Structure 1
Amino acid sequence: MAQGPVERVKGANAYTDLMDPRRRWYNNKRLIVLNGWIVLLLVTACTSGYDGSMMNGLQSLPQWESYFKFPTKGKLGLLSSIQNIGALAGYPFAPYLCDGIGRRPTVFIGALLMVIATAIQTASQSVGMFVGARFLIGFGLTFAASAAPMLVAELSYPTYRAPLTSTYNSLWHFGQIVFALPPHGQPLARSRYKNTWAWRLPSALQAVPSLVQLLMVLFVPESPRFLVSKGKEAQALNILAYYHADGDENDPLVRYEFEEIKAAMKFDRTVAANIGWRSFLASRGNLKRVRIIIAIAFFSQCSGNGLASYYLNKVLSDIGITKPTTQLLINGVLSIWSLFCALVASTVVERVGRRILFLSSACLMTIFFTMQTVCFARFTISGDTNAARGMIAFLAMYNMAYNLAFSPLVVTYTLEILPYNIRAKGFNIFNITMSLALIFNQYVNPIALAALVWKYYVVYCVWLVCECIFLYLYLVETKNYTLEETAAIFDGEGVTEKIADSAATQAGVVMKDGGADFHG
């Protein structure tokens, strides 16, 4: 590979002209291995999706209801929300583990806690034991779900960083689908198991992804950014070279990545002072970050999707679809459709751009949710069955719109706008906001639906318009920037260029506005 200076197109993706065009994920053994490790990290989101779907499914199993003496009202609400309460309890510790001992060990600790918790949940002999296990599942999931996506973003080959990070949150739907399928899904549980194994088996199988992570995650390479932050620069360079350039530490791509990481961290520590919780209030750039992070986290759970995600059976019953098998079929088809749409959106994030996807998603959600409201109201008032069918169709279109951005992009966008030194803490703010929004959904939505029926949908119609306005005014486009350059966009004009120029100088890359040329 080239040993001398390398010319780079200024304003294009910083890595585009430094990568070997022959190196692809399907024809390079080390990229295949790296992406295999990343898949191991991605299953964390599947665990979360499975858990949410399982808890909803168990509540409809007579074996589970009778064993726990038919919990209702407050007790049922506690059983539904205790996992998120456990997650909230873990958030104060998660960023310190991620930044203190590393992303990889934090995933290991989270997986270990979830394996222990699911064992307790499976063996539960009382409501108290089940509640305790659910709390511990949420507590452990916090650590894994905080560290895994950061490690994905910080390890990925530049070409695949955005699609892979976007795939992370999209796979929540995959976990939801798995619960609905034999041999451990709700349909078979109803028909085959007449005893407590109807709920113990799906509970036990929840541990499988975490058990696989527990056995293998310590073999995953650590984040080069974490290693640089701890002064282990040689180790970081070795990982970048091994997986991104077949072991060549003098490869132009590796040299540029390594120097850019160091330049960005130096800027954060000496110029921007992006260290600690107080830094989120210390600069306009960080205030902008917090505003966007809190907003998109809240939007991701409170855009009307909570009605379909957690109370779909209630909504279907309200529009006259009461047969359990039909409800289950609709639920399964919508989950598969959502997964497909989210994965397709994940593949185009770099080509289409974050801003276009977010705005398209919000505007289309507003349209399709409004049409759902009209159909729901018409059915409620006149009993028009065609309106009921129309609502299902618009629900599917709404799911497509939601999954254009709010499944794939919320994690990706949050991680890439945060500089390394506050990435774990900023992601913690995102997760706390999301958990609070989930708890809001679980408690407020059923009460409001029961009281207002279709009129409650009007509230979300108005709220979606507000989301569109916010995203148009404040969302910043970040496509075709490196992780370090994207984070620097918020810190003032010229910061991105300073970091890129510093990295280019140290790596021997010459900046210019023309084409790229390799010298050596």
Structure 2
Amino acid sequence: MSDLAVSKGHFKVCGREFPRVSWLKLKNLRSTYFILFFVVLTSATNGYDGSMVNGLLSLQQFKDYMHDPSGSIKGLFSGIMFLGSLLALPITPYIADGMGRRWGICIGSIIMILAVVLQSASVNFSMFIAARFFLGFGVAIAHGAAPLLITELCHPQHRAIFTTIYNTTWYIGSIIAAWLTFGTNHIPSQWSWRIPSIVQALPSILQISCVWFVPESPRWYISKGQPEKALAVLAHVHAEGNYDDEVVQLEFEEIKETIAIEKEAEQTGWLELFKTKGNRHRLLILLSAGLFSQWSGNGLVSYYITGVLDGIGITDPNTQLVINGCLNIWNCIVATTMCFFVDKLGRRPLFLGSTAGMMVCFIVWTICSERYTATKVEANGSAVVAMIFLYYTCYNAAWSGLLVGYTVEILPFSLRAKGMCYMFACVDIALFFNTYVNPIALEKISWKYYIVYCVWLAFELVFVFFFYIETKNTPLEEIAKHFDGDAALVGGTAATEKGRIIEAELHDKEHKDATVQVHEEKVGL
């Protein structure tokens, strides 16, 4: 059986198959996953912000207070957050690797809460912009730790689902912000925009309150010379406290040996991703995933749906807010549903199908926009709205969840935190560019700007076809074999030997039990 093939009802660790477990039936796993949900909420903060920006730009009270900002000012209003994130990235791996995954989440959340206080109390545009800069700074630090903790803590059977769900919670925050701004639109005062701003602190408050109930990453404990704590976490989360569980013992040996090999090789610097063929392949995927996730046309709707809808004759603020709210609900349903098919369908087929679907939808979207501009026929405008929903259906099939789920798993432990910074840097660069350029381009050339994305999506499809590889049903430490081949720094000897010892012990026990049973039967006779 190949490394990628796993029998139905089983999962693999160190080349051996084990029966699948139900997290609902295991108390420790169930409680850990429940608390881990609050770690997953890190992405919801970003989603809330994107939808809140859309909502605030639709509120007349906000536009009046900010003196009806122009296209370039709108770009600064959104883009400054991503500039803050970009400037925070160089320090995020040192917090996550040095202080631990939980401290990274906590520090990022504290900064975000302070930024929300400043944002909510803003008395002018400059104060609001400064607050959004620090908000982005905090988001980057929390983002640099949360997915690492999730992927390193989850049971091997559930890792892909959980890490993919992480980024889809963007839509939970987005839905709350969309409908909250719709409701506060009817408040005839500054509270119509201050209330959504205040509520933005909620995910961070929940995280600070709950993150300490989540176990620290066992891999981080091992990297800090605390293997006994790592084994305790693995036993508690993966085997209901059974230190002698075969899966726990195999995981523990493989993780311990792999991290020891990585330390010995001293492959921990920022430039390591440029030095080997396998690492350069990883880097191409990281950089492209960050860019493609935001440069595929989705930024037009995520942050400037008002400009898109204005261009097809839908100018009523209430109607715009309702479309934005319904779109986010639909996105959340599709993105979350697709998380449960990642290991069934595979990463590569999902990426290819998603990108091809986006390209087709965007071409039709562009044609319908041109037809509306030329004819003012309402049906063409309605067709654009339909294409937006179809486009996002395709986008959420892969790019929403797998942006983090795929990139975090292809990196070895020693490079995981720094590698994710490369990916998030590309996300922030793309978002900063898009949020500043998109409103200006929509204002100046309207639907003609969409042609750029049609061509770019075709390029994305070709790139994904040649460079994105399949990693489904592969244990975290063993994914390195897909990139590095025989040169992969994977601990296997100790884990394999441990497996042989366990197997021999089980065989001896079964033999003794059978002998005792035969003896008892003879005595009985």
Question: What is the TM-score with the length of structure 1 in the denominator?
Answer: 0.92
Q: Counterpart of 1:360 in structure 2: which amino acid?
A: G
- Partner Cα separation in structure 2 for residue 75 and residue 326 of structure 1: 24
Residue 93 (structure 1) aligned to one of 91, 94, 100: 91
1:367-378 correspondence to structure 2 within 5 Å: 367-378=360-371
Secondary structure at 1:477's aligned position in 2? Answer: coil
How much does 1:405 deviate? 0.4
Is residue 14 of structure 1 aligned with residue 8 of structure 2?
no
Between 379-388 and 258-267, the greater mean CA deviation after superposition: 379-388
- Partner Cα separation in structure 2 for residue 396 and residue 460 of structure 1: 17
How much does 1:263 deviate? 2.3
- Partner Cα separation in structure 2 for residue 76 and residue 394 of structure 1: 25
Identity value in percent = 40
Between 231-240 and 71-80, the greater mean CA deviation after superposition: 71-80
Between 262-271 and 474-483, the greater mean CA deviation after superposition: 262-271
Q: Aligned in 2, Cα 1:360/1:493: closer, same or farther, shift over 3 Å?
A: farther
1:123-202 correspondence to structure 2 within 5 Å: 123-181=121-179, 185-191=180-186, 193-202=187-196
How much does 1:79 deviate? 2.1
- Partner Cα separation in structure 2 for residue 381 and residue 178 of structure 1: 36
After superposition, the C-alpha distances for 1:151-200 in whole angstroms (9 at most, x for unaligned) are: 1111111111111110111110111110122xxx1222121x32222222
Between 485-494 and 94-103, the greater mean CA deviation after superposition: 485-494
> Does the 8 Å contact 1:151/1:222 carry over to 2?
yes
Q: Aligned in 2, Cα 1:10/1:77: closer, same or farther, shift over 3 Å?
A: closer
- Partner Cα separation in structure 2 for residue 437 and residue 176 of structure 1: 19
- Partner Cα separation in structure 2 for residue 313 and residue 61 of structure 1: 11
> Does the 8 Å contact 1:416/1:487 carry over to 2?
no
> Does the 8 Å contact 1:256/1:509 carry over to 2?
no
> Does the 8 Å contact 1:298/1:433 carry over to 2?
yes
- Partner Cα separation in structure 1 for residue 442 and residue 198 of structure 2: 33
Residue 432 (structure 2) aligned to one of 426, 429, 439: 439
How much does 1:350 deviate? 0.6
> Does the 8 Å contact 2:61/2:188 carry over to 1?
yes
Residue 298 (structure 2) aligned to one of 302, 305, 310: 305
> Does the 8 Å contact 2:55/2:321 carry over to 1?
no
Q: Aligned in 2, Cα 1:202/1:340: closer, same or farther, shift over 3 Å?
A: same
Is residue 240 of structure 1 aligned with residue 234 of structure 2?
yes
After superposition, the C-alpha distances for 1:443-469 in whole angstroms (9 at most, x for unaligned) are: 222222233322222221111111111
How much does 1:9 deviate? 8.1
How much does 1:518 deviate? 7.5
Residue 261 (structure 2) aligned to one of 262, 267, 271: 267
Residue 221 (structure 2) aligned to one of 218, 227, 230: 227
Give the corresponding residue for 2:516: none
How much does 1:501 deviate? 4.8
Q: Counterpart of 1:31 in structure 2: which amino acid?
A: L
- Partner Cα separation in structure 2 for residue 9 and residue 472 of structure 1: 22
- Partner Cα separation in structure 2 for residue 300 and residue 507 of structure 1: 41
How much does 1:502 deviate? 4.2
| Structure with greater helix percent | 2
Q: Counterpart of 1:246 in structure 2: which amino acid?
A: E
> Does the 8 Å contact 2:81/2:132 carry over to 1?
yes
Q: Aligned in 2, Cα 1:317/1:66: closer, same or farther, shift over 3 Å?
A: closer
Secondary structure at 1:357's aligned position in 2? Answer: helix
- Partner Cα separation in structure 1 for residue 452 and residue 502 of structure 2: 54
> Does the 8 Å contact 2:54/2:305 carry over to 1?
no
Extract unaligned runs of 5+ from structure 1. 1-6, 512-516
How much does 1:310 deviate? 1.8
- Partner Cα separation in structure 1 for residue 174 and residue 168 of structure 2: 11
- Partner Cα separation in structure 1 for residue 302 and residue 507 of structure 2: 52
Q: Aligned in 2, Cα 1:449/1:123: closer, same or farther, shift over 3 Å?
A: closer
- Partner Cα separation in structure 2 for residue 327 and residue 441 of structure 1: 21
Extract unaligned runs of 5+ from structure 2. 510-525
> Does the 8 Å contact 2:53/2:303 carry over to 1?
no
- Partner Cα separation in structure 1 for residue 250 and residue 5 of structure 2: 15
Between 131-140 and 445-454, the greater mean CA deviation after superposition: 445-454
Q: Counterpart of 1:215 in structure 2: which amino acid?
A: S
Give the corresponding residue for 1:505: 497
Give RMSD over aligned pairs: 2.2
Secondary structure at 1:32's aligned position in 2? Answer: helix
- Partner Cα separation in structure 2 for residue 386 and residue 129 of structure 1: 43
Give the corresponding residue for 1:491: 484
Give the corresponding residue for 1:429: 422
- Partner Cα separation in structure 2 for residue 463 and residue 518 of structure 1: 59
> Does the 8 Å contact 1:177/1:336 carry over to 2?
yes
Is residue 477 of structure 1 aligned with residue 477 of structure 2?
no
Is residue 449 of structure 1 aligned with residue 442 of structure 2?
yes
Is residue 409 of structure 1 aligned with residue 407 of structure 2?
no
Q: Counterpart of 1:178 in structure 2: which amino acid?
A: I
Q: Aligned in 2, Cα 1:382/1:55: closer, same or farther, shift over 3 Å?
A: closer
- Partner Cα separation in structure 1 for residue 501 and residue 334 of structure 2: 39
How much does 1:389 deviate? 2.0
Q: Counterpart of 1:93 in structure 2: which amino acid?
A: I
Is residue 29 of structure 1 aligned with residue 22 of structure 2?
no
1:234-383 correspondence to structure 2 within 5 Å: 234-271=228-265, 273-383=266-376
> Does the 8 Å contact 1:111/1:140 carry over to 2?
yes
- Partner Cα separation in structure 1 for residue 201 and residue 304 of structure 2: 25
Structure number, greater radius of gyration: 2
Is residue 205 of structure 1 aligned with residue 199 of structure 2?
yes
Between 355-364 and 45-54, the greater mean CA deviation after superposition: 45-54
- Partner Cα separation in structure 2 for residue 173 and residue 90 of structure 1: 24
> Does the 8 Å contact 1:34/1:243 carry over to 2?
yes
> Does the 8 Å contact 1:107/1:143 carry over to 2?
yes
Is residue 463 of structure 1 aligned with residue 461 of structure 2?
no
- Partner Cα separation in structure 2 for residue 519 and residue 316 of structure 1: 71
Q: Aligned in 2, Cα 1:509/1:150: closer, same or farther, shift over 3 Å?
A: farther
- Partner Cα separation in structure 2 for residue 354 and residue 9 of structure 1: 15
Between 336-345 and 447-456, the greater mean CA deviation after superposition: 447-456
- Partner Cα separation in structure 1 for residue 387 and residue 71 of structure 2: 31
Q: Aligned in 2, Cα 1:274/1:222: closer, same or farther, shift over 3 Å?
A: same
- Partner Cα separation in structure 2 for residue 505 and residue 282 of structure 1: 32
How much does 1:494 deviate? 6.8
Q: Counterpart of 2:194 in structure 1: which amino acid?
A: R
Q: Aligned in 2, Cα 1:484/1:9: closer, same or farther, shift over 3 Å?
A: closer
After superposition, the C-alpha distances for 1:260-300 in whole angstroms (9 at most, x for unaligned) are: 112222332335x4211121121111111111110011000
After superposition, the C-alpha distances for 1:51-87 in whole angstroms (9 at most, x for unaligned) are: 1211222233233333334443554432222211111
How much does 1:114 deviate? 1.2
